Amino acid sequence: MKHYVTVNDIDSSSDWIDLAGELKKDPFKYKELGRGKSIGLLFFNNSLRTRLSTQKAAFHLGMHCMIMNFGSEGWALEFEDGTIMDQGKAEHIREAAQVVSQYCDVLGVRAFASLSNKEQDEAEIVLNGFKKYATIPVLNMESAIEHPLQALADLITIAEKTEKKSPKVVLSWAPHPKALPHAVANSFVKIMKQNSQFNFSITHPQGYELNPDITKDVPIVYDQEEALAEADFVYVKNWSSYSSYGKVLSTDPHWMITKEKLGQAQFMHCLPVRRNVVVEDAVLNGDQSLVMEQANNRTFAAQVALYKILKGL
């Protein structure tokens, strides 16, 4: 049984990129593959792009889609084993995951980091709870520490837009008023590392180091101007501190991305984006922005992942 819960589940980047290209040209090419198959999409958090693009991908593959906002529509879940469930939790993940497996052929799960309990977040209690007890493949629609559908869409976008074999790609932190998870940044770093042709580095203020197990061997440059010099792609994203877990240490506006800072590089962001906080209007409104291509590629990233899952059923 094949899951797609981390970018590590990609067995061949080039094959996956090629398949995305093929699907983009002919989205309904494999519409028979999912016939009679149901995918359940369980949302523990809000979603716009993931919600619509995953449905669209399933539609292209001929799948039947069932969606639940689990928090408001289902039952509060218990994730601990051996608990006496006499408090607020009505259902254990063991039952919930197995039950959903009775009704679906594939299971999508979105469950963000709490940013308050590092140990629980790193254990991916929701995603891994479903993965452990479900008897069907699991599709990660953004978990506490990874967002592999986004990273795959990002990789496809860079592959489409690069004119160089080894483009310089920089992941830059940017300010944000709220504490945000690390999932998008983590998955982007991992997928950049998996594809060694990229000249990849990270820039952020001191104290914003991502999990060092993930960034191992990636150059970290604390001077943003130096980092961005001669970049071909600048991927911008806010995240909260990892060492001071979930804290906002800085909202320094000097880290905002401007058209000037961008130079000749193409701009990337996963969206939603805070205009004139993360990046100035001139970038988003200009022709160096790839954010709409990234959003569009979310459909084909999801479709590639579902294709691989369906083939493995």
- Residues of the shown chain interacting with a second copy in the complex, contacts defined by CB under 8 A: 28, 36, 38, 40, 43, 46-49, 51-53, 55-56, 59, 64, 66, 68-69, 72-75, 78, 81-87, 90-92, 94-96, 98-100, 102-104, 177, 251, 271-277, 281, 284-285, 291-292, 295-296, 298-299
CB of 309 to a second copy, least distance (A): 19
Nearer to a second copy, 1 or 292 (CB): 292
CB of 258 to a second copy, least distance (A): 13
CB of 178 to a second copy, least distance (A): 8
Taking the C-alpha atoms of 188, 38, 29 and 50 in order, what is their torsion angle to the nearest 10 degrees?
Answer: -30
DSSP code for 210: -
Alpha helices in 45-117 (DSSP H): 49-60, 70-73, 93-103
Nearer to a second copy, 54 or 140 (CB): 54
Nearer to a second copy, 2 or 94 (CB): 94
- Cβ atoms 191, 155 nearer than 8 A: yes
CB of 14 to a second copy, least distance (A): 24
Closest CA to 45 of 64, 65, 66, 72: 72
Alpha helices in 61-172 (DSSP H): 70-73, 93-103, 118-122, 125-133, 148-161
- Cβ atoms 175, 243 nearer than 8 A: no
**CA 72, CA 42: separation in Å to the nearest integer?**
11
Nearer to a second copy, 168 or 237 (CB): 237
CB of 196 to a second copy, least distance (A): 30
Nearer to a second copy, 164 or 254 (CB): 254
Closest CA to 53 of 169, 186, 147: 147
**CA 85, CA 62: separation in Å to the nearest integer?**
40
CB of 48 to a second copy, least distance (A): 5
Helix (H) or strand (E) holding 293: helix 291-311
Nearer to a second copy, 50 or 215 (CB): 50
